[in-house]
Amino acid sequence: EVQLVESGGGLVQPGRSLRLSCRASGFTFGDYAMSWVRQAPGKGLEWIGFIRIKAYGGTPEYAASVKGRFIISRDDSKSIAYLQMNSLKTEDTAVYYCSRHPLYGDVSNWFDTWGQGTLVTVSS
Amino acid sequence: QSVLTQPPSVSGAPGQRVTISCTGSNSNIGTNYGIHWYQQLPGTAPKLLIYGNNNRPSGVPDRFSGSQSGTSASLAITGLQAEDEAHYYCQSYDSSLSGSVFGGGTKLTVL
């Protein structure tokens, strides 16, 4: 069964850092680009970043709202994608989902599989 | 303010047909990147419903269909059922922003 499981969420103070993990199973992780999408309480979906497969350079792309503060990486040997969040702000409070693009897909494609999400609350 | 514009809510009676619109621009829906739709049931993660304008993943009923024309797209749901009550989101790629963009979401209420 194809599955994505996020972890690492929790309560964090403004200005601090937090790292989220997305563990994949049921498919060859290295063949799929991954994105992170967040949803603030009671709000819509916001794409925040993406990482290509190694064959396409393994490079990330970011939304303007998080560029320079968030870093996306991947460890294909462990089938895990990471979201390192630095200089957190109260407006970063949201459920964070990792999502998978189609096979050999890119940032312009859809998200065919989603994790269950992990809640990050930024508050003093 | 979302890059893609959706109506905040739509409603319909069981068995009826409803449509949800998604309006964008020449840098997103108006390109060849396609429009995709997701269903989010209360308290759950989004689920892919339609990809590439009008393609359904395996397991999605053919009651759901998508269309795209110019800088607008629509999701149609026929034979409305109580379990269709959810939020629906459109998504595309924006070449000006160099990233994915979503609509603000539409809440479907089955009367």
Residue A26 structure tokens: 């049921």
Question: Would you call A108 an interface residue with chain B, using a CB distance cutoff of 8 Å?
Answer: yes
Sign of CA dihedral B48, B95, A36, B103: negative
Average pLDDT rounded to a whole number, residues B7-17? 97
Is residue A104 predicted with pLDDT exceeding 90?
A: no
Q: What is the pLDDT of residue A87?
A: 97
- Closest Cβ–Cβ partner in B51, B102, B104 for A47: B102
Round to whole Å and give the CA distance between A93 and A35. 18
Q: What is the pLDDT of residue A103?
A: 86
Q: Which residues of B touch A64 (CB under 8 A)?
A: 97
Q: What is the pLDDT of residue B37?
A: 98
Is residue B1 predicted with pLDDT exceeding 90?
A: no
Question: Would you call A114 an interface residue with chain B, using a CB distance cutoff of 8 Å?
Answer: yes
Please give the C-alpha separations between residue B104 and each of A87, A102, A112, B4, B24, in angstroms, as whole numbers.
26, 23, 19, 7, 12
Q: Which residues of A touch B33 (CB under 8 A)?
A: 108
Name the residue type at position A87: S
State whether B89 and A107 contact (CB < 8 Å). no
Please give the C-alpha separations between residue A51 and each of A27, A71, B35, B92, in angstroms, as whole numbers.
17, 10, 21, 17
Give, for A59, the enclosing helix (H) or strand (E): none
Nearest-Cα distance to chain B for A17, in Å, is: 24
Nearest-Cα distance to chain A for B39, in Å, is: 12
Q: What is the pLDDT of residue A113?
A: 97
Nearest-Cα distance to chain A for B51, in Å, is: 7
Sign of CA dihedral A40, A43, A45, A49: negative
Average pLDDT rounded to a whole number, residues B1-7? 93
State whether B46 and A61 contact (CB < 8 Å). no
Question: Would you call B34 an interface residue with chain A, using a CB distance cutoff of 8 Å?
Answer: yes
Q: What is the pLDDT of residue A65?
A: 95
Round to whole Å and give the CA distance between B93 and B29. 8
Average pLDDT rounded to a whole number, residues A18-23? 98
pLDDT-based confidence at A26, cuts 50/70/90?
Answer: very high
Q: Where are the beta strands (DSSP E) in B1-111?
A: 9-12, 18-23, 36-40, 47-50, 64-69, 72-77, 86-94, 99-102, 106-110
Is residue A107 predicted with pLDDT exceeding 90?
A: no
The three-class DSSP label of residue B70 is: coil
Round to whole Å and give the CA distance between A35 and A51. 6
Question: Would you call B106 an interface residue with chain A, using a CB distance cutoff of 8 Å?
Answer: no
pLDDT-based confidence at B76, cuts 50/70/90?
Answer: very high
Question: Would you call B105 an interface residue with chain A, using a CB distance cutoff of 8 Å?
Answer: yes
The three-class DSSP label of residue A108 is: coil
For the beta carbon of residue A1, count every other beta carbon within 10 angstroms.
5
Q: Which residues of A touch B102 (CB under 8 A)?
A: 44-47
Is residue A122 predicted with pLDDT exceeding 90?
A: yes
